[in-house]
Chains A and B, each alone.
Chain A
Amino acid sequence: MSLIDPQDTLPPARSPLSEAWEMFRGNTAAMFALIVLGLIMLCAIFGPWIYPTDPFDMVWAPFSPPGVDGFLLGTDYLGRDLLAALIHGSRVSIVIGLAAASVSIVIGVTVGALAGFYRGWVEELLMRITEFFQVLPTLLFSMVIVALFGASLPMITLAIGVVSWTAVARVTRSEFLRIRELEYVMASRASGATNSKLMFRVILPNALPPIIVQAALMVGSAILFEAGLSFLGLTDPNVVSWGQVIGSNRQYILDASYTVTIPGLAIFVTVLCISLVGDGLNDALNPKLRSR
C-alpha cells in the first residue's frame, strides 16, 4: 500500500529550540540586554590584559574625579584607579554569580527531582527541609556561614548557593509532578526504563525550560548577594569585587559620591541585563506565551 505521505509535501516543522530562539530574537529588550551582557563578559575575560593596572596599586592622589588627570573613572580614597577596580572586579562578581547559581541549581534540582519523582515520605521530608531553608533570613544565614568559615571566595559562593536553592527546588518539583504523569513517561516506564533513567534522561530534560529561567535570574541575585556581603566587609580583602569597592568607599559617599556610584551602576546594569535576558527566556521557553 503506498499512500502519499503528507509529511513529504509540507514544509518541515521547526524544532522547539529554533522556535524559542525566534521568539527571543523578537524581544528587543532581551536582545539588547544580551548584547550588553556579552560586552560585560568580554570585558571580564579580556579586560585585565587590555587594562593591566593593578586595582590595589596607589597610582595617583586620592579622590581625583572622573576624567581629570587622565583617569577615566577617577581614583578612590587611597588613590587607586577605579576603572581598574571595575574591570578586575567584574571577574569576581560574575564568577561568584555563576558559581553560586550553579551551586543552588545542583542542590535545588536534586532535591526537587527526588521529591517530585518519588512522592510520598521522600517528598514530605525534602519539602519540609526546603521550607526550613526558605524561612531562614537569607542574608543573615549567609553572613553566619561566612563569619564562621572564613571569607574566602569558595566559602562566599557556597554560602550564597546554600541560601538560594529553595526556589529552584520548588520549580523543579512542580515540573516533575506535572511531567511524571505525561504519556511519554508512562511509555518509557512501560518499556522498562529504570528510575534514574526516567528521572534524569526522560523527565529532567523536559523540565529544563523553567529551571533555565530560574538559573538566569539566580545569577543576578547572586551578584547582588555578593555585593551585599562585601559591602558589609564579608569578603576576601585580597580580591577586588564591585561590592567590595562600594564597601571600602562607603565612608566617603558624601564627599566623593562617584566612588560608590560607579561600581553601583555596574552592578545595576549587569543585574538588570540578566533579569531582562531571564524574562526573555521565560517568554521564549514558556509554551503558554508562545504565539503559534
Chain B
Amino acid sequence: MALLSVKNLRIEIKTRAGVAPVIDDLSFDLEAGESLSFVGESGCGKSMTALALMGLLPEGVGSVAAGSITFDGEELTTATETRLREIRGNDISMIFQEPMTSLNPLYTIGEQIAEVLRAHQNLSRKAAWNQAIELLDAVRIPNAKARVNDYPFQMSGGQRQRVMIAIALACQPKILIADEPTTALDVTVQAQIFDLLQDMRRQTGSSIILITHDMGAVAEMAERMIVMYAGRKAELGPVEDVIAHPRHPYTAGLISCVPHILSTLTEEREELVEVPGIVPALNDFGKDSCLFASRCQQAQAQCLEARPPEIEFGPEHQSACWRAQEL
C-alpha cells in the first residue's frame, strides 16, 4: 500500500464571488522513499496541496470539501488537531520557500532544532542539543559546534535553508514536503541544496514531495511528476517519460520554456516558446471545460464543452487532455 494516498481531493476557498475549488479532483499515490514533484505556474494549487497534506489550510478560508488523504493507513482529513500536531514535524514535515524569513529571528538555530526534537521525541535538553549539532553537521554547516549558537541573522540564505532542512529532518519524517525550496537562492546554492536533499533522502529513506516550477530541478530530483494546472492534475507520470513525450500541451509548453545551454555559441539555437496568457481567475476554476483551452494552440470545440477525462498511457502515465492520444 502506498505511504500516502490522495483520492479525489477537492479543496475550496471562499472568495468574495463565492466558493472556488483551488484543488479539483486530485488523486495520486506516494510510495515510501519515492520522490514526487509538483510542477506548474503560480496559482495552480501546488502549495495548497502541500498545506492540505499538513492540515494547515488557512483557517476560515480554505477547507477540504471532498476526497480523502490517507497517510500510513490513517485518514488525515478527519483527524483531530492534536493528532495532526503529532504528525506535523514528526511524520510529515515541510520546508518553505523563503529561508530568510522562515526562522524565528529571536532564537538561536540550535534552540530551534532542539525545540522540534523535544516536542516530538521526548529528548532531554542536553540530548536534543547534541542531536541539533549532529544535524547541523549532517546538513553540511561548517563548524557546527560553534554555529549552533548563531542566530538566523548571522547566516546566509543558503545556510538558513540548510537549517530549515535540518529542522524538517530532525525527527526523520516519512515525508518531506519542499515548497519551492530554492526559489529564493542563488543558482550555485540551489545545486547544493538539491544535492543535500538527495543525500538526506538516501540516508533517511524519507519520501520527498518537491513543489517547484523549475523543470531542471524536477529532472534532477524526482522520479515521478505531476503537472498541475488551475487546481487540476494535467499530467502525471515518470519524469523521463513525461519530459521525453509530454501528453498534455501545457506540459509541452512548460518544457519548451526551459533554455538549453549549448556548447558552442555558433550552434543553431531553438527559439524559446512562451505559453501565452495567464492562469484563469479563481472563479473560473470550477467550470466543466478544459481550463487550459484558452491558452492552448491545439484547442478544439470539445475542449470548451467538457472537462477532459484522465487518459491512461501505460500503467503510470496519465494525461487530462482531449487530444492526448494525438500528441
Q: Can you list 23 A-B contacts with CB-CB less than 8 angstroms, sorted by A residue number? A: A3-B188, A7-B159, A12-B154, A120-B60, A184-B102, A184-B104, A186-B96, A186-B102, A187-B102, A187-B167, A189-B56, A189-B88, A190-B54, A190-B56, A190-B96, A191-B116, A191-B168, A192-B119, A192-B120, A193-B89, A194-B85, A206-B104, A206-B106
Assuming the contacts A1-B195, A183-B101, asked whether A193 and B154 have C-beta atoms less than 8 A apart, the reply is no
Q: Which residues of A are found within 8 Å of B164, using beta-carbon distances?
A: 187
A187 to chain B, nearest CB (A): 5
Chain A residues closer than 8 Å to B195, beta-carbon distance = 1
Measured between beta carbons, the chain B residues less than 8 angstroms from A70 are: none
Collect the chain B residues with CB atoms within 8 Å of residue A15's CB. 151, 153
Contact of A186 among B56, B120, B154 (CB under 8 A): B56
- In the complex, whether B234 has a CB less than 8 A from a CB of chain A is no
Tell me which residues from 11 to 69 in chain B have a Cβ below 8 Å from any Cβ of chain A.
54, 56, 59-60
* Minimum C-beta distance from B44 to chain A (A): 20
Q: What 0/1 pattern do residues 165 to 180 of B give for CB contact below 8 A with A?
A: 0011000000000000
Say if the beta carbon of A150 comes within 8 Å of chain B: no
> Given B87, B101, B105, B153, which contacts A192 in the complex, CB threshold below 8 Å?
B87
User: What are the 9 A-B residue pairs with the smallest beta carbon separation, nearest first?
Assistant: A191-B89, A192-B89, A192-B88, A190-B94, A183-B101, A187-B102, A184-B104, A183-B102, A191-B116
Pairwise interchain contact B60-A205, C-beta atoms closer than 8 A? no
Evaluate contact between B105 and A184: CB separation under 8 angstroms: yes
- B88 and A119 contacting across the interface, CB-CB below 8 Å: no
Residue from A5, A186, A191 within 8 A of B93 (CB atoms): A191
Q: B155 near A7 (CB under 8 angstroms)? A: yes
Q: Is the CB of B156 within 8 A of A7?
A: yes
Chain A positions 176 through 189: 1 when the CB is less than 8 Å from some CB of chain B, otherwise 0: 00000011101111
Cβ of B101: which chain A residues have Cβ within 8 Å of it?
182-184
Tier of interface size on chain A: 20 to 34
Chain B residue contacts of A187, Cβ below 8 A: 94, 96, 102-103, 164, 167
Determine if A16 and B90 form an interchain contact, defined as CB atoms under 8 angstroms apart. Answer: no
B60 and A119 contact, CB distance less than 8 A: yes
Whether A13 is near chain B, meaning CB under 8 Å from some CB there, is yes
Q: Is A137 an interface residue (CB 8 A)?
A: no
Q: Which of chain A's residues have a CB closer than 8 A to the CB of B102? A: 183-184, 186-187
Contact A6 B192 (CB under 8 A): no
Spell out A's residues near B (CB within 8 Å): 1, 3, 5-7, 12-13, 15-16, 119-120, 182-184, 186-194, 197, 202, 205-206
Least Cβ–Cβ distance between A142 and chain B, in angstroms: 36
**Are B103 and A16 in contact (CB-based, < 8 A)?**
no
How far, in Å, is B100 (CB) from chain A's closest CB?
9
**Alpha-carbon distance between A193 and B142 when the two chains are bound, in angstroms:** 28
- Chain A residue, CB-CB nearest to B170: A191
Q: Contacts A187-B164, A190-B94 given; 17 further ones with Cβ under 8 A?
A: A3-B188, A5-B159, A184-B103, A184-B105, A187-B103, A187-B167, A189-B56, A191-B88, A191-B119, A192-B85, A192-B89, A192-B116, A192-B119, A193-B115, A205-B106, A206-B104, A206-B105
A197 surroundings in chain B (CB, below 8 A):
119
Residues of B within 8 A of A119 (CB): 59-60
Chain A residues near B93: list those with CB within 8 A: 190-191
Contacts of A13 in B (CB 8 A): 153-154
Cβ of B288 under 8 Å from chain A: no
Query: Which residues of chain B have C-beta atoms less than 8 A from A1's C-beta?
Result: 192, 195
**CB atoms of B142 and A5 under 8 A apart:** yes
Residues on B with C-beta less than 8 A from A194 are: 85, 119
Residue of B nearest to A12 (CB): B154
User: In angstroms, how far is the closest chain B Cβ from the Cβ of A63?
Assistant: 57
Chain B residues with CB under 8 Å of A192's CB are: 85-90, 116, 119-120
